C-alpha cells in the first residue's frame, strides 16, 4: 500500500500488488531441445484482486538450446521477439554455435526496453491486445521450431 499526503491535507491511498511471472514452452527437433521462456510482471491496481484491473510488463524472453545428439542438421538462426499492445514489437536475431558439444546449452536473452505496464487482453498469442513473446529457431533442413507464450493472470494471484 502506498500513502501520499498532500499540502492541502488530503490523503491518497493506492493498493498495488505486483508479481513476477515466468511461462515456458518447449520442443525437440533434429537432436536439439529448445526451451522458450517469457518473463513478465503483473500489476494489480486495486486491493480487491477479484475486481482489479491488471497491467503487464515484459521483463525478458529467453531461448535455451541444448544439443542432445549428433545431427547432420544445423541451426541457421534464432529470432526472438515480444509484443506489447499499442503496436510495440521488439525483435532480435541470434546465431547458434553449431560446433557445440553434445549436452551443451546455449541461452539467448532479449531484455525488454519498455519499462512501463500495459493493459492487455488475456486472449492469447497473436492477439493485437495481448502481451506475448515468441522464438523461431530455423534449421538447415528448412524447418522451424516456433514457440510462444502470452502473459496472463494466474488463478490465485
- 117 Cβ contact partners less than 8 Å away, ≥ 6 residues apart: 41, 43, 55, 56, 57
At residue 75, the pLDDT reads 96
What is the mean predicted confidence (pLDDT) over 72-87? 92
The answer on pLDDT for 27 being more than 90 is yes
- 99 Cβ contact partners less than 8 Å away, ≥ 6 residues apart: none
Global confidence as pTM: 0.84
pLDDT higher for 3 or 101? 101
CATH topology classification for 2-149: Immunoglobulin-like (2.60.40)
At residue 99, the pLDDT reads 92
> Per-residue pLDDT tens for 38-66?
999 998 876 655 666 888 999 999 999 99
What is the mean predicted confidence (pLDDT) over 23-36? 96
DSSP character string of 121-152: --S-TT-TTS-EEEEEEEETTS-EEEEEEE--
pLDDT higher for 124 or 85? 85
Task: Show me where the domains of the chain are located.
Answer: 2-149
> Per-residue pLDDT tens for 104-155?
999 999 999 988 888 887 666 566 778 899 999 999 999 999 999 988 887 7
Q: How confident is the model at residue 88 (pLDDT cuts 50, 70, 90)?
A: confident
Phi-psi group of 49: left, alpha or beta (phi > 0 → left; psi -120 to 50 → alpha; rest → beta): alpha
Contact, 23 vs 149, CB < 8 A? Answer: yes
Amino acid at each position: 500500500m502506498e500513502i501520499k499526503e498532500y499540502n492541502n491535507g488530503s490523503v491518497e491511498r493506492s493498493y498495488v500488488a505486483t508479481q513476477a511471472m515466468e511461462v515456458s514452452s518447449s520442443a525437440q527437433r533434429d537432436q536439439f531441445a529448445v526451451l522458450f521462456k517469457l518473463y513478465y510482471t503483473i500489476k494489480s491496481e486495486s486491493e480487491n484482486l477479484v475486481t482489479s484491473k491488471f497491467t503487464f510488463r515484459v521483463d525478458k524472453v529467453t531461448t535455451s538450446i541444448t544439443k542432445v545428439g549428433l545431427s547432420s542438421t544445423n541451426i541457421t538462426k534464432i529470432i526472438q521477439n515480444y509484443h506489447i499492445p499499442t503496436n510495440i514489437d521488439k525483435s532480435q536475431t541470434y546465431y547458434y554455435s553449431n560446433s557445440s558439444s553434445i549436452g551443451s546449452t546455449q541461452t539467448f536473452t532479449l531484455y525488454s526496453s519498455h519499462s512501463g505496464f500495459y493493459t492487455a487482453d488475456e486472449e492469447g498469442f497473436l492477439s493485437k491486445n495481448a502481451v506475448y513473446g515468441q522464438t523461431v529457431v530455423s534449421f538447415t533442413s528448412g524447418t522451424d521450431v516456433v514457440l510462444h507464450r502470452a502473459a496472463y493472470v494466474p488463478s490465485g494471484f
